[in-house]
Structure 1
Amino acid sequence: MTEEFNSLVGHFLVSTPQMPDPRFAEHVIYICAHNADGAMGLAINRPNSSITMAEILKGADLPVPQNTLPQIHIGGPVELESAFILYLSDYKTEHQLEVTSSVSLTRETKVLEDISLGKGPATYLFLLGYTGWGPGQLERELVEQGWLTLPANNEIIFNMADEQKWKAAAMQYGIDITTFEDEIGYA
């Protein structure tokens, strides 16, 4: 008999002030994959000011659309040269991971081409790199109180200013993350 696995796909990991790894201070990570083999997520509140979406498109020899383009994000410290597009699932492509019924993830270059032509997803984040955990690693980190797990909210992912996402992700459940402390209760 196999042990039941509680996947965190479609959830936020919100770093607490007790986060032992300073690289993840005030991070909100959206979990895209989680199973017994490990987990993969994308930091949704870490803008990258060293490169623009227009530069990404130009670098791929694609036209730059006239509409306002979103800021590039650092999805995490792993494979910073790898690009990911996280978007609302009203846009469909052949190679996509349906994270939830409303959010999908892809690395397909056709989506970048569609964005350049104004035919891509209307709402998306373009991210470089990702955050990954090996088997059991995320579960150990959760026990150590470095992360708070909460159901994700598309409004926070796609429509909120990056500097507000960390507090807002916790506050939607009545948690003031700035004063969050380890508390042990006994019944």
Structure 2
Amino acid sequence: MKKHTPTYLKHQLLMAMPHMADPNFAHTLTYIVEHTANGAMGLVINRPMDLNLADILEQLRPDTLSSPLCEHIPVYGGGPVMVDRGFVLHPATMNFDATVELPDGLALTTSADILFSIADGRGPQRSLVCLGYAGWDAGQLEAELADNAWLTCPYSSDILFATSSELRLDAAAKHLGVNLNLLTSQAGHS
């Protein structure tokens, strides 16, 4: 008997199926940062909050004026877990106090020094700032995939950095050649 090797989705995009009822994930596109037998962690990348980087910096260093540029850098709701914790996806061209390199020249930083660097004009040219993350316990994401709650798509830096947030989910679907509006929650059986 052939042993089944699990397929992990690290560095993939996860698209919520149109019938997703969980309000935390309905109509979301999530970048999967880590996925192992112990669970998964990702960042929702298409839900801008009513915050911008200037708002965050005002909380972190209230006595310093931030650059007007920071008012145009959105902050995304990365997921329902630890919503007071920041995560920044960016090209791996720079390292900060807490930076983890990811595949394809991508990095994730969780230290505030990247925010100050962006505000001072010395940070990465492209970045995505999130508060909170999406987390799944061991086997939970696999069960949700088996229940047809998600579609997976290969990572694309264009979708992450060059596509406006409201178009990212459709861009990922188009990358797969899928129209999400035509999908059903019923799995096909023959």
- TM-score calculated relative to the size of structure 2: 0.89
Q: How many residues align?
A: 184
Secondary structure at 1:170's aligned position in 2?
helix
Q: Does 1:160 align with 2:169?
A: no
Find the partner of 2:181 among 173, 178, 182. 178
The separation in 2 between residues aligned to 1:138 and 1:111, in whole angstroms, is 30
Letter in 1 for 2:22: D
User: What is the percentage of aligned positions where both structures have the same residue?
Assistant: 33
1:14 equivalent in structure 2: 15
Please list the CA deviations of residues 11-49 of structure 1 after superposition, one character each: whole Å capped at 9, or x if unmatched: 011011132423311100000011111000000000001
2:69 equivalent in structure 1: 67
Superposed CA RMSD in Å reads: 1.8
Maintained 8 Å contact 1:18/1:145: no
Instruction: Detail structure 1 runs of 4+ shifted over 3 Å in the superposition.
Output: 66-69
Please list the CA deviations of residues 76-124 of structure 1 after superposition, one character each: whole Å capped at 9, or x if unmatched: 0111111111111122234212221321111112212211211111100
Maintained 8 Å contact 1:28/1:45: yes
5 Å-filtered alignment, 1:1-187, equals 4-49=5-50, 51-61=51-61, 62-67=64-69, 69-181=72-184, 182-186=186-190
The separation in 2 between residues aligned to 1:66 and 1:102, in whole angstroms, is 29
User: Unmatched 5+ residue regions in structure 2?
Assistant: none
Greater Cα offset, 143-152 or 157-166: 157-166
- TM-score calculated relative to the size of structure 1: 0.91
Letter in 1 for 2:54: A
The separation in 1 between residues aligned to 2:140 and 2:147, in whole angstroms, is 11
Please list the CA deviations of residues 112-171 of structure 1 after superposition, one character each: whole Å capped at 9, or x if unmatched: 221121111110011111000000000000000000011111111122111111111111
The separation in 2 between residues aligned to 1:177 and 1:91, in whole angstroms, is 36
Secondary structure at 2:49's aligned position in 1?
coil
After superposition, the Cα gap between the structure-2 partners of 1:93 and 1:23, relative to the gap in structure 1 and judged at 3 Å, is closer
